């Protein structure tokens, strides 16, 4: 569990708010909107309060974005517990976070954007967390989607699948996929980090094709 603390991708980038702020629709989930604007709080007590508010908002509105952010909040709290060597609470909170992240996908099984956000988290976790099998299934399904994502998002999905293959010790398949990725020069430069577990921030393609449509209920 100690390894978990460094690996959750930074969802709260200013780019998200910049796009949302210029979108012509009212946010149906104000607590989720706050997370988009300001990110999850760093201070533990504030993080607890925000996470609880997100869950209450989900119960009231059934807005899946609130549920996803709630799961992120629980995982973030697991990170805090892990950092102080409270591994019992770290494990409990991580299990809860993953449970609700999976629940968000399972209850919206036909929504590829929600599945993408789960894969985006799981793909950058260390192998010991054991989520590579989930990522392989998610990326396989996402790559079969037609007319949902543009090329840039498909490239993200392929790289997430590569990472999952490595973590699941399917090295031959991983090497074959990496050869394909390397033929796309721009893609290789963007994704190939010297630190395997350094997750990139959301880019404009992810914001416009995944986050914003999801917030709009698509």
pLDDT of residue 94: 92
CA separation for the pair 79, 214 (Å, rounded): 26
- pLDDT digits 0-9 by tens, 148-174: 899 889 999 999 999 999 999 999 999
Spatial contact of 156 and 37, defined as CB atoms under 8 Å apart: no
Does pLDDT of 33 surpass 80? Answer: no
Q: Domain extents for the chain?
A: 2-215
Hunting for tokens 């392929």 — which residue is that?
Answer: 158
pLDDT band at 79 (very low <50, low <70, confident <90, very high): confident
Q: What length does the chain have?
A: 218
Spatial contact of 13 and 201, defined as CB atoms under 8 Å apart: yes
The three state secondary structure string of the chain is: CHHHHHCCCCCCCHHHHHHHHCCCCCCCCHHHHHHHHHCCCCCHHHHHHHHHHHHHHHHHHCCHHHHHHHHHHHHHHHHHHHHCCCHHHHHHHHHHHHHHHHHHHHCCCCCHHHHHHHHHHHCCCCHHHCCHHHHHHHHHHHHHCCCCCCHHHHHHHHHHHHHHHHHCCCHHHHHHHHHHHHCCHHHHHHHCCCCCCCCCCCCHHHHHHHHHHHHCCC
Q: From 1.25.40, 1.10.3470, 3.30.1150, 1.10.700, which CATH number describes the 2-215 domain?
A: 1.25.40
- pLDDT digits 0-9 by tens, 184-210: 756 555 666 656 656 666 678 887 888
pLDDT of residue 198: 63
pLDDT of residue 127: 83
Spatial contact of 135 and 164, defined as CB atoms under 8 Å apart: yes
pLDDT band at 1 (very low <50, low <70, confident <90, very high): very low
pLDDT of residue 98: 95
**Phi, psi (deg, nearest 5) at residue 63:** -75, 115
Does pLDDT of 179 surpass 60? Answer: yes
pLDDT of residue 24: 44
């Amino acid at each position: 569990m100690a390894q978990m603390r460094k690996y959750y991708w930074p969802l709260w980038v200013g780019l998200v708010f910049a796009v949302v702020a210029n979108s012509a629709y009212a946010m149906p989930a104000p607590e989720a909107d706050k997370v988009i604007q300001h990110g999850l709080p760093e201070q533990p007590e504030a993080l607890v309060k925000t996470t609880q508010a997100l869950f209450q908002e989900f119960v009231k509105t059934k807005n899946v974005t609130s549920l996803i952010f709630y799961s992120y909040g629980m995982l973030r709290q697991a990170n805090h517990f892990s950092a102080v060597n409270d591994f019992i609470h770290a494990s409990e909170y991580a299990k809860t976070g993953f449970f609700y992240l999976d629940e968000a996908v399972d209850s919206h099984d036909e929504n590829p954007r929600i599945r993408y956000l789960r894969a985006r988290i799981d793909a950058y976790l260390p192998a010991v967390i054991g989520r590579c099998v989930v990522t392989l299934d998610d990326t396989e399904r996402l790559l079969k989607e037609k007319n949902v994502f543009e090329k840039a998002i498909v490239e993200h999905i392929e790289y997430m699948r590569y990472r999952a293959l490595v973590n699941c010790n399917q090295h031959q398949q991983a090497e074959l996929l990496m050869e394909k990725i390397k033929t796309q020069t721009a893609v290789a430069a963007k994704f190939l980090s010297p630190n395997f577990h350094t997750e990139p921030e959301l880019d404009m393609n992810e914001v416009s094709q995944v986050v914003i449509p999801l917030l709009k209920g698509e």
